[in-house]
Amino acid sequence: MSTTPASRHVRSLTGAEPQHDSELGSITRLTADTFPILTRLSIKRLLLEPGSIREPHWHANADELGYCLSGTLLVSLLENGSVFSSFTITAGQMFTIPSGALHHIENIGDDTGEVVVAFSHERPEDFSLHAAFGTMTDAVLGNTYDLPASAFRPLVRDTGSADLVKREGPAVVPDTAGFGNPHKYDLGAQNPPLDPPFAWVKTARTQFWPALENLSMYSLTIQDDGMREPHWHPRTAEMGYVHEGRARMSILDPDGSVDTYLLGPGDVYFIPRAYPHQIEVIGDDEIHFLIFFDQPTPGDIGYRASASAFSRPVLAATFGVPVDELPDFPFTPSDPLLVGKANPTDPVSSDPVS
């Protein structure tokens, strides 16, 4: 269970109170109920043991965007107009589920499956197929399927949800499940659009994945000699999950306070729209972040381009120094997003939030 955090911008996902925890796997969530700063985004971590199933369900108010960290999983979904599809995903691959679409996630492999999922709402609403059947009488279901009411009496029916259930026997995997699918995206196979020597980023956004409507994600890896340039997203909130490594972030709040915090594996941070912030590695190991956005194509404004947007007299007046004492800002027509560390890392003064 998570402890009281030192920052309102951070919570631990792996340390959160589980929604489900059994021999079948576990589900942990962070929503606005447990992470009040969240807006238009929330996050879930799903662990599925072999043969376990995230039961068929749908989300009434949120799209879903998932990234597979391990395992071999089968995803099936039924959309508007009785459009059905089923596909497999493995580590480095992603899936998206539109709001209201019935879907399931099933571990069809021999190893534990781990998926990190973002939702396009701070409080996603779930309905399970089990609960939907439990709502209706035997007679109503019998009429629906042209069967006698007695055919439904053996079913265990209520309006609850088991969350995870166990499959009996081998998995039934359609022959077409290995084909490409509009709801599936192989982010791991993408050539990084940005690939400097000290970092790389792979992007799942509508430019490359047209199925995305309300969400996007960057897979960001930075070595100890690199840094994410200070920046802000004018129309995009940011929610990051730390998969590996330790990092430090600083964020400016509108009241002028600066929140600087450390992050470790399993932590989640949230940056509201247009709040300036940066990310840097702490320690000798690289970091790997899954960064989710509440727009299909996130945009940002970086510090480097900001210094090129105004004349030196304007900048001198802004910073309260003579023009000849200004740093020699390089002209930057387009922000680099990732920059190298030419200077020693500032001292670390506290432990990661957990």
- The structural domains of the chain, with segments of one domain joined by +, span 10-185, 188-340
CA-based nearest residue to 65, from 279, 234, 216 = 216
| CB distance 59 to 97 below 8 Å | yes
User: How does pLDDT run across 227-237, given as a tens digit for each residue?
Assistant: 999 999 999 99
Buried residues in 67-95 as b, exposed as e (16+ CB within 10 A): bbbbbbbbbbbbeeeeeebbbbbeebbbb
How far apart are the C-alpha atoms of 127 and 133, rounded to whole Å?
A: 11
pLDDT tens-digit readout, 76-95: 999 999 999 999 999 999 99
**CA distance linking residue 74 with residue 177, whole number of Å:** 8
DSSP 94-121: EEEE-TT-EEEEEE-SSS-EEEEEEESS
CB atoms within 10 A of CB 351: 10
pLDDT digits (tens, 9 = 90+) for 26-44: 999 999 999 999 999 999 9
Q: In percent, how much of the chain has pLDDT > 70? A: 97
The phi and psi torsions of 176 (rounded to 5 degrees) equal -90, 0
Percent of the chain scored above 90 by pLDDT? 87
**Is the predicted pLDDT of residue 3 greater than 60, yes or no?**
no
* 136 has a pLDDT exceeding 70: yes
- The per-residue pLDDT for 285 is 87
CA 54 remoteness from chain centre:
18
- Assign 5 a pLDDT band (cuts: 50, 70, 90): low
Tokens 């740093």 belong to 327
Cα 200 off chain centre by: 18
Measured distance CA(315)–CA(317) in Å, rounded: 5
Q: Which pTM does this prediction carry?
A: 0.94
First to last CA, the chain: 10
Residues 6 or more apart whose Cβ sits within 8 Å of residue 347: none
Per-residue pLDDT reduced to its tens digit, 152-173: 999 998 999 999 999 999 999 9
| Residue type at 180 in one-letter notation | G
Question: What separation in angstroms does the CA of 88 have from each of 54, 76, 129, 304, 348?
Answer: 14, 9, 21, 42, 43
Mean pLDDT of the chain: 94
State the pLDDT at residue 191.
87
pLDDT digits (tens, 9 = 90+) for 258-307: 999 999 999 999 999 999 999 999 988 899 999 999 999 999 999 999 99
Q: What is the pLDDT of residue 350?
A: 56
Which of left, alpha, beta for 146 (phi over 0: left; psi -120 to 50: alpha)? left
Instruction: Give pLDDT, residue 107.
Output: 98
Neighbours of 346 (CB within 10 A): 11
Residue with tokens 């047209």: 210
Question: Checking DSSP bridges between strand 113-119 and strand 42-48, what pairing results, if any?
Answer: antiparallel
Q: How far apart are CA 256 and CA 252, in angstroms?
A: 6
Domain 188-340 class in CATH: mainly beta
pLDDT in tens, 319-354: 999 999 999 999 999 988 899 998 988 888 754 443
Query: Under CATH, to which class is 10-185 assigned?
Result: mainly beta
CB 60, CB 101: distance < 8 Å: no
Q: What is the pLDDT of residue 195?
A: 75
